[in-house]
Amino acid sequence: MSDETTTGLNNRKILMWVFLGSDCMFFASLIGTYLIYKGMGLPHPGPSDVFDIPTTSVSTFVLLMSSMSMVFAYAYLVRSNIKAFRIWMISTIIMGATFLGFQIFEFSEFYFHDHLSPQTNLFGTTFYALTGTHGIHVTIGVVWLGIIFYSSLFRNTVSAKTNLDLDLAALYWHFVDIVWIVIFAVVYLFGTFKGFPS
């Protein structure tokens, strides 16, 4: 669906890109805060004490696959293949929810097993603030995709003509994915890398 605008581009899509650009700065402030407080305050429990790289690698894989599933859903909607669109949409939602499940599992392990809470030390504060904010973004994404899926299934309001609605949700979903790409490398991999000289 196209609107007549001075730029020739859809204003909602421009607005979404402006929002994503501003959200980059939001996450930058959280990542920056995590980095500057890294190694300060009480050292234990620290990243090496709590992180389990194989588990987080699996959850990263799930989120990356959800992005692939999302573009498949979009591609099939544009081609008016509603059945395939619904299959890929539900798989995206399931993978998004699975990622959240991993995060809940991880947080509960850290809290109950490793006794790491946001009040424990600076690492706990900055880690939960950063990954918790990302988790909230994922939750919003899952709900948004869920609403689109529901609309497609029960209200029949999703079609190739309204693909911009899905396009905007997909942009948001991929953004959540790229933020995690950065968090996974900076927080998890650098945080526990054993090769740094002590």
Partner 1 sequence: MVTNQKNKINKSDIHEHNHPSVITYFKVAIALISLTALEVVVYYFDWLGYGIIPVMAVLSIGKFAIVVMYYMHLKFDSKLFTYLFMAGLILAMVVILWLMALFGWFK
3-state secondary structure of 27: helix
Longest dimension (CA), the chain: 60
Name the minimum Å distance from CB 136 to partner 1.
Answer: 18
Report the Cα 120 to chain-centroid distance in Å: 25
3-state secondary structure of 6: coil
By CB under 8 A, tell whether 167 contacts partner 1: yes
Instruction: Kindly state the number of chain residues that form the binding site for partner 1, as judged by CB under 8 A.
Output: 62
Name the minimum Å distance from CB 153 to partner 1.
Answer: 22
Q: What is the CA radius of gyration of the chain?
A: 19
What is the rounded CA–CA span in Å between residue 86 and residue 170? 14
Cα distances (Å, whole numbers) of residue 17 to 141, 143, 148, 170: 16, 20, 20, 12
User: Which residues within the stretch 9-68 sit at the binding site for partner 1 (CB under 8 A)?
Assistant: 9-10, 13-14, 17-18, 20-25, 27-29, 31-33, 35-36, 53, 57, 60-61, 64-65, 67-68
User: Which residues within the stretch 64-93 sit at the binding site for partner 1 (CB under 8 A)?
Assistant: 64-65, 67-68, 70-72, 74-76, 78
Q: Can you count the helices (H) and strands (E) in the chain?
A: 7, 0
By CB under 8 A, tell whether 119 contacts partner 1: no
Report the Cα 84 to chain-centroid distance in Å: 24
The smaller minimum CB distance to partner 1, of residues 23 and 114, is found at 23
What is the rounded CA–CA span in Å between residue 100 and residue 94? 10
By CB under 8 A, which span of 114-122, 124-132, 140-148, 175-183 interacts with partner 1?
175-183
Name the minimum Å distance from CB 8 to partner 1.
Answer: 4
Residues engaged in binding partner 1 (CB under 8 A): 2-10, 13-14, 17-18, 20-25, 27-29, 31-33, 35-36, 53, 57, 60-61, 64-65, 67-68, 70-72, 74-76, 78, 163-164, 167, 170-171, 174-175, 177-178, 181-182, 184-185, 189-190, 193-197
